[in-house]
């Protein structure tokens, strides 16, 4: 799997958009970008994933650059409950030979401030 680079920590004011960057310059053409988060003392939670198009769901938006070497997770209106560690992971899809294991890096610790 391609390596990702994320800032160690970020702060965001409550109600403002939180923009979490991720660099994945060695991503290959059949690798997806996934985002998960882990709130303290809980299991990780899937947020969103994409291949090359921007994606949006009820939780967040994922913006992937045209060259696919970086992406940004956007939480449009951050709340205190969004305080968590956010993981950007690049990996093959299931069509590449079965379910792939998820390797977690350090992630970005997002602190939403009142």
User: Three-state DSSP class for 80?
Assistant: helix
Q: Among 8, 29, 81, 95, which residue sits at the site for another protein (rule: CB under 8 A)?
A: 95
Interface with another protein, residue 7, by CB under 8 A: no
Q: CB 91 → another protein: shortest distance, Å?
A: 8
Q: Does 103 bind another protein (CB under 8 A)?
A: yes
Find the Cα–Cα–Cα–Cα dihedral 107, 81, 39, 31, rounded to 10°.
Answer: -50
Does position 94 bind another protein by CB under 8 A? yes
- Look up tokens 């994933």; give the residue: 49
Nearer residue to another protein within complex by CB, 68 or 87? 87
44 binds another protein (CB under 8 A): yes
Is residue 99 within 8 A of residue 36, CB to CB? The reply is no
C-beta separation of 100 from 92 below 8 A: yes
Nearer Cβ to another protein, position 31 or 82? 31
| By CB under 8 A, residue 34 contacts another protein | yes
Distance CA 44, CA 64 (A): 22
Q: Give the chain's largest Cα–Cα span.
A: 45
Query: Binder to another protein among 66, 97, 99, 114 (CB under 8 A)?
Result: 99
Among 8, 29, 42, 66, binds another protein (CB under 8 A): 42
């Amino acid at each position: 799997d391609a390596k990702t680079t994320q800032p160690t920590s970020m702060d965001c004011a409550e109600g403002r958009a939180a923009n979490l960057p991720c660099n994945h310059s060695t991503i290959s053409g059949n690798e997806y970008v996934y985002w998960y988060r882990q709130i303290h003392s809980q299991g990780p939670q899937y947020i969103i994933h994409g291949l090359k198009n921007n994606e949006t769901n009820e939780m967040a938006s994922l913006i992937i650059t045209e060259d696919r070497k970086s992406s940004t997770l956007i939480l449009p209106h951050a709340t205190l409950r969004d305080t968590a560690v956010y993981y950007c992971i690049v990996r093959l899809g299931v069509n590449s030979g079965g379910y792939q294991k998820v390797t977690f890096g350090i992630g970005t610790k997002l602190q939403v401030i009142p």
